[in-house]
């Protein structure tokens, strides 16, 4: 049986606020819980879990296995790693194991799902259409965005920037 073709059309934009440059933020079932503020990041090679989710899932240090590769933040700083944990992500009726790197850093997101999860699901994602599409049971299924949450995360990230750093426009003399 041939897999359904995954693609996007203008119809997929219905229900989204256009035009936008929002990140793709979704709710996923991780470790048996519905987890909000999950960033879908095609550019990342690892799934990441932040302290808020780690604590919310009641994970303990002894639940983690060592992870010794360095991880660098967007700011170019090395991030403190707590370890790695394998958890289930359920998308519709599909369940897969995913290795999360647990970091000790602030993020407006609870977790980041990346290429390993997208590839394992056989999915394609589109920030423009604010969806992830994947084949399941001979159909195309979707994970739909939470665009309002994406905007809240952006505001949270911007408001948390250190005020001691001059703004980009101040650096450029604007």
Query: Where exactly are the structural domains of the chain?
Result: 18-160
pLDDT at 167: 43
Q: Would the pTM count as exceeding 0.75? A: yes
Q: Do β-strands 33-40 and 111-113 pair in parallel, antiparallel, or remain unpaired? A: parallel
pLDDT at 64: 94
- Out of 1.10.443.10, 2.40.37.10, 3.30.1360.120, 2.40.70.10, the CATH code matching 18-160 is 2.40.70.10
Report pLDDT digits (tens) over 144-167. 888 888 888 888 888 876 544 444
Low-confidence ranges of the chain (pLDDT < 70): 1, 3, 74, 161-174
- Positive or negative, the CA dihedral 59, 68, 113, 92 is negative
User: Quick one: tokens of 168?
Assistant: 């980009």
């Amino acid at each position: 049986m041939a897999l359904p073709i995954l693609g996007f059309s203008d119809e997929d934009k219905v229900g989204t606020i256009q035009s936008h440059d929002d990140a793709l933020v979704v709710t996923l079932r991780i470790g048996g819980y519905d987890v909000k503020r999950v960033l879908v990041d095609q550019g990342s090679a690892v799934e990441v879990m932040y302290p808020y989710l780690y604590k919310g899932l009641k994970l303990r240090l002894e639940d983690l296995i060592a992870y010794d590769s360095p991880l660098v933040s967007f700011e170019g700083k090395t991030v403190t790693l707590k370890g790695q944990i394998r958890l289930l992500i359920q998308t519709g009726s599909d369940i897969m194991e995913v290795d999360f790197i647990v970091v000790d850093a602030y993020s407006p997101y609870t977790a980041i799902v990346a290429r390993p999860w997208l590839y394992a699901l056989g999915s394609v994602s589109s920030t423009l259409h604010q969806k992830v599409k994947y084949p399941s049971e001979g159909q195309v299924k979707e994970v739909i965005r939470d665009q309002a949450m994406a905007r809240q995360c952006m505001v949270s990230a911007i408001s948390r920037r250190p005020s001691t750093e001059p703004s980009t426009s101040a650096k450029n003399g604007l």
